[in-house]
Structures are given as C-alpha cells and as structure tokens.
Amino acid sequence: MKQKIQQSLITLFETYFKESPISIEILPMSGSYREYIRLTSKNYVAIGTWNEDVKENNAFVEFSRHFKIKGINVPEIYAYDVDQCIYLQEDLGTTTLYSFLTELREKEGFCDKIVEVYKKIVQELPKLQVIAGQDLNYDFCYPRKAFDRQSMMWDLNYFKYYFLKLAKISFNEQLLEDDFISFTDYLLQAENQFFMFRDFQSRNIMLVDQEPWFIDYQGGRQGALQYDLASLLYDAKADIPEIVREQLIDHYLNELEKIHPVNREDFRQFFYGYVLIRIMQAMGAYGFRGFYEKKEHFLKSIPYALKNLTIILSKVQLPIELNELLKVLASLPETQMLKDIAPIPVDLTVEVTSFSYKNGYPVDNSGNGGGFVFDCRSIHNPGRYEQYKLLTGKDQAVIEFFQAESDMSEFLEPIYATVERTVQKYIERGFTHLSVSFGCTGGQHRSVYAAERMSEFLQTKFPIQVVVHHREQDKK
C-alpha cells in the first residue's frame, strides 16, 4: 500500500475514533485489487480499505448499511471518504470458513463440526437473498443491476477465452456460441428477483464465535436463488462430500420455505444448471489469474473444479440440448494438460471411529459409503467393574485390563490383517477415504481401546493420514 493512501486511512481512523493507531498491519491481497490494513489504537480496531473503483465502493458501503439494518451479519462501515476511495470497516478477525474447514479437516476429516457450520450458513442465506433483498436499492449494483442475459454471456465467454482457449481445448466456436444462447435462455426462466451475492464462497464468509458473517458482496445484484447456493456447495477448494451437499440443499430448502414458496423439483433442476455456469465462471477466473496473470496458486483450484464438473455432469438432466457445450465440458477432466497442472493429492485418509450401538452406526460424511464395522461386545467389559466405570479405553488402567484380563489382542489380530490388505489396495488404486469403526455397548471402553490400537497400527505401517473419532466421548 502506498504511503499516501496509508496516511489517508490513518487520518480517517483518527477523525472517526478520536484516537491514533498504535499498530498498523498490512493485510495480504486476495483475488481482487483492493488493499487492506488493520489499524489498532488503545480502544479500537478497524480494517482500512482502499479501492480506486468508486462504483464498487459505493455498492459495498450501501449494501453493508442496508444489510446491517436488516439484521444480517455484515461488517459495520465506520467511515467512508468517497473522494479518496477509502473506508473503514469492522474487523471480523482472521477466521474465514475456508481456513476453519482446512484446519479442522486435517485433524478430523469432514466432521460434524464442519457440517454444523455449513448448516448455519445455509440457514442465513435465504434471509440475505429474500428478506434483505426485497427493498435493496439495486441502482448501486455494479457492473450490472441483475444477473441477466448479458451477465451470463460475459461469464460464458470469460470461460471460453480465458480457460478453453488458454488451455488449448478444441471446440466448434459457432456450435458453442449457439449452446451458450440456449443455456442462457433456460437459466433466465428461473425466478430471479432476489439478491444474488455473486461470490458466495468459503473465503468470503468469516466465522466470529462460530457464527457466519459475510464480506465482499460488492458484486451483488438481482438474480436466481440457486446461484449463491451453487457457489457455496461447489466451491472448488472446499471439496464438500457429495452426500453432505445433498443434506445441505435440503436444509436450505427447509429454511427457504419458511419465507418463500418453492417447488423443490423445479429448484433442483435449475440448481444444477446454475452449478454449471458457476463452475465455468470460476474456471474462467482460474484461467485468467493462472494462465494469463501467471499466479500459480489459482491453477491449484482447477483439479477440484474438474472433480465437481464430473459429479455434476453425471447428475444434470436439463430439458434442452447443449451438445457442444456438454461435449467440451466432459472432455476437460480427461485433458492431459489440465491433469498435469496441479493434481489433487491422492493420500489416503482412514477415519477410525468408536461408537455405542445404542446410538446407532456412525455417519459417513465422505460420500463413499462402506468401510468396516467391527463389534467389540464379545470382549470382556471393564465397564462392569466399579473402578473402571468413569474411565475410558484411553486410560492406562483400562489399557492394562485389556492386556491382562481379556482376549482383545486375539480379537484385533485378524482385523489388523484385513484392514492392512484393504489400505494397501486403496493406496495402489488412488482411493482417498476408508472408514473403520468399532462398536460396543456404551462406546466408552472396548471400542475406544480398539480404535486407539487400530490408529497406532496404521500410523506405523503406512504414510497415510489417520483421523480418530470417539463419538460418544466427543459429545461430552
């Protein structure tokens, strides 16, 4: 950030808060050209923002003030100097949805904690789209008031010129243009009088005390409900398991129905069409930033987008013919150049879970299904003895009990062999997830001990990620 701009932000801070900042932190730029600093004084903190695009600034400031009145979690705008293209906004901290799920996923997989946060987000989304969008002044929208035909054609051509052409993908240009027109005609049939966030993805959602807050909606405009949900659930690097996506769509529709009538079948059909155009828009951005501007980290999102594309093409059943477009899209995951850019790591994650049969089988959030479930209830149970009742299978006294007073080791030996063979095959075939679960009566002693021993066994045998869940203990 230039010294002159930084000084202007300091002056704006001092004018508004009546205190001078004692620390200034320059924040990293993201995908935009806006620049940010964190200013901290004795009693106040704010994010100073500079963006030379005045119309974009006006949109963000106006939308923020409107959403705040409507009770939506967005940053407060403290002060705005239009002439200098700077403003002060509330500091929401450093935890984005993306950083939250990345950190937690490494430790626990795509666990229930992540799913619960996503449920909170899709609960809030209809309020933003329907309630807050009702009397919003759309004259501030920039560059378009609505996600209309021209906006869609911009996105589709962005994909064509910055992704297909730069990636050297062959296609019949006239047939593809014809399909773009047909596709746009179809998407415009969906209800489209709602606020469309436009870039509703994991880096534009902050978590404050585990509650979702929204940022970077200055590109918002009127549009269809499906677009933002598609942006969230098919955010490339978030890599949400497909089974969780289906759960979240239903959760979103349940919330939407409370404030707006919806035909679920029609919604879903349009939804997958909007997923396609969103993926194409995102891939255009990856091509522009990666191929054209040579920013390599954008290229790393391409394999995840291709993975999402493969899933959607297996599901989508649009009531129109898009032969050239669908042929081109289907060819992308098989293009060697794209495969070589930044392949998705195929490291295997094994989730090892202990559970109580009284509370049902564990839920598999990976979307793969299957895996192993072993019943430990035939093993001598230390929970029957008073001295062990408050302990678990991780406590030393219980560990010694199983080593001396039970046939647990004989029980585990063939299980080790079975799981070892499977893990070896999964690694060879490039599979990414396996679940291994142990159940007992209370989910406290036998299953916990067995899960801990399995985790140790796998970690000493293979260079894989092992995630352990003790379901009943995690609830406490």
Domain boundaries, the chain: 3-89, 97-341, 349-474
Range in 44-48, 152-156, 248-252, 290-294 with the lowest mean pLDDT: 290-294
Domain 3-89, CATH among 3.40.35, 3.30.1370, 3.30.200, 1.20.1740: 3.30.200
Confidence of residue 428 (pLDDT cuts 50, 70, 90): confident
- Round to whole Å and give the CA distance between 47 and 75: 10
Q: Most confidently modeled of 197-201, 240-244, 293-297, 363-367?
A: 197-201
Which pLDDT score is estimated for 305?
A: 92
DSSP string, 455-472: HHHHHHH-SSEEEEEEHH
Which pLDDT score is estimated for 295?
A: 87
The answer to whether 463 and 348 are in contact (CB under 8 A) is no
Range in 234-238, 270-274, 317-321 with the lowest mean pLDDT: 234-238
- Round to whole Å and give the CA distance between 255 and 259: 7
Range in 116-120, 375-379, 461-465 with the lowest mean pLDDT: 461-465
Q: How many CB atoms lie within 10 A of CB 362?
A: 18
Confidence of residue 31 (pLDDT cuts 50, 70, 90): low
Q: What is the mean pLDDT of residues 290-299?
A: 89
Confidence of residue 476 (pLDDT cuts 50, 70, 90): low
- Round to whole Å and give the CA distance between 10 and 39: 8
Which pLDDT score is estimated for 223?
A: 98
Q: Which amino acid is at 472?
A: E
Strand residues in 126-210 grouped as ranges (E): 194-196, 205-208
* Residues linked to residue 48 through DSSP beta bridges, in sequence order: 37, 88
- pLDDT > 90? residue 105: no
According to CATH, the topology of domain 97-341 is Aminoglycoside 3'-phosphotransferase; Chain: A, domain 2 (3.90.1200)
Which pLDDT score is estimated for 10?
A: 97
Residue entry with tokens 């799920």: 101
Order the strands of the 372-375 sheet from edge to edge: 372-375, 433-440, 349-356, 465-470
DSSP string, 334-387: G-HHHHHHSPPP---EEEEEEEEGGG-PPP-TTS----EEEE-TTS--GGGSGG
- Do 3-89 and 97-341 come out as alike in CATH topology? no
- Round to whole Å and give the CA distance between 133 and 217: 12
- Residue 166's contacts (CB-CB under 8 Å, 6 or more residues apart) are 287, 291, 292
- pLDDT > 80? residue 168: yes
Q: What is the pLDDT of residues 176-231, one digit of tens each?
A: 999 999 999 999 999 999 999 999 999 999 999 999 999 999 999 999 999 999 99
Confidence of residue 374 (pLDDT cuts 50, 70, 90): very high
3-state DSSP call for residue 221? strand
Which pLDDT score is estimated for 345?
A: 56
- Round to whole Å and give the CA distance between 437 and 352: 6
Q: What is the pLDDT of residues 390-427, one digit of tens each?
A: 999 999 999 999 988 889 999 999 999 999 999 988 88
Q: What is the mean pLDDT of residues 93-107?
A: 89
Pairing of strands 77-81, 45-50: unpaired
Which pLDDT score is estimated for 37?
A: 97
- pLDDT > 60? residue 291: yes
Mean pLDDT score across all residues of the chain: 92
Q: How far is CA 391 from CA 388, 430, 474, in A?
A: 5, 39, 14
- Round to whole Å and give the CA distance between 152 and 150: 5
Q: What is the mean pLDDT of residues 436-444?
A: 96
Q: What is the pLDDT of residues 50-87, one digit of tens each?
A: 999 999 999 999 999 999 999 999 999 999 999 999 99
Q: What is the mean pLDDT of residues 38-53?
A: 97
* Residues linked to residue 436 through DSSP beta bridges, in sequence order: 352, 372
Which pLDDT score is estimated for 233?
A: 97
3-state DSSP call for residue 215? coil
Q: Taking Cα atoms as reference points, which of 71, 64, 27 lies closest to residue 45?
A: 27
Q: What is the reported pTM?
A: 0.76
- Round to whole Å and give the CA distance between 54 and 62: 12
Q: Which residue has the higher pLDDT, 113 or 224?
A: 224
Q: What is the pLDDT of residues 321-347, one digit of tens each?
A: 999 999 999 999 889 889 888 666 556
The answer to whether 221 and 182 are in contact (CB under 8 A) is no
